[in-house]
Amino acid sequence: MDGVIVDTEPVHHYAYVQHFRQLNIDVSPEMYASFTGNSTKNIYERLKGIYNLQDEVPKLVETKRNLFNDAFDAKEDLYLLEGVETLIKDLHQNGMQLVLASSSARVTIERIFKRFHLHQYFSHIVSGEEFPQSKPNPAIFEQAAFLAQTPTENCIVIEDSTNGIKASKAAGIYCIAYNSVNSKLQDLSLADQVIQRFDELDYEVIRNINA
């Protein structure tokens, strides 16, 4: 979702940076880039271990989430990424099942889906907070395939992060990498295909991948 459907990464970055300042910790750009595709819970588990943070993980997660929600609600210039709404509608109208598998918390997913009226297009939503391990662990994509009642070899994942691509391949799923301008320092080399724009894809293109 983040970085593929909607450009919320700047909002997440703002919330994290604000929280890091409150915690008085210095997180390098390289470390921050390694978080991409991880759940907030897993990120703070890592940070707590590295920086010996006093607050418990649930409290850290809640603080960051509140910072994100405030920034999200205040940000008027927040849009779906160019071409993605057309692609979603095209796939949905042609009967292709869409499942969201995002590392974001369910409350964040619901906030974004409600704002952009996306519920009507997706049969299922899977949140990374429901799994002990984040991507690159494949569990989130395996669950998405299970809910879709579709063998993994007949699924396709669209991802913009190194961890997400690794998770897709570990699940045995064909992966299309979106080279997002907001996904800094991500290695897309393990993907089966890399796109620069969403108008490179449509129902016929995707259907023929698994033909």
For the chain (211 residues), the mean pLDDT of every run of 10, in chain order, is 87 94 96 89 95 96 94 89 96 98 91 95 95 93 98 96 95 96 84 96 93 64
Distance separating alpha carbons of residues 31 and 47, to the nearest angstrom: 10
> The tokens of 111 are what?
């906030």
Instruction: Note the pLDDT of residue 1.
Output: 92
Q: At residue 176, what is the residue type?
A: I
Instruction: Note the pLDDT of residue 85.
Output: 97
End-to-end CA distance of the chain: 26
Distance separating alpha carbons of residues 187 and 200, to the nearest angstrom: 20
Instruction: Note the pLDDT of residue 211.
Output: 64
Max intra-chain CA distance, the chain? 53
Instruction: Note the pLDDT of residue 9.
Output: 82
Q: Is the peptide bond before 58 cis (omega within 30 degrees of 0)?
A: no
169 φ/ψ angles, rounded to the nearest 5 degrees: -70, -35
Instruction: Note the pLDDT of residue 180.
Output: 83
Instruction: Note the pLDDT of residue 152.
Output: 97
8-state DSSP, 168: H
> The tokens of 190 are what?
């393990």
Chain centroid, CA 84 distance in Å: 14
Rg (CA), the chain: 17
Q: What is the pTM of this model?
A: 0.84
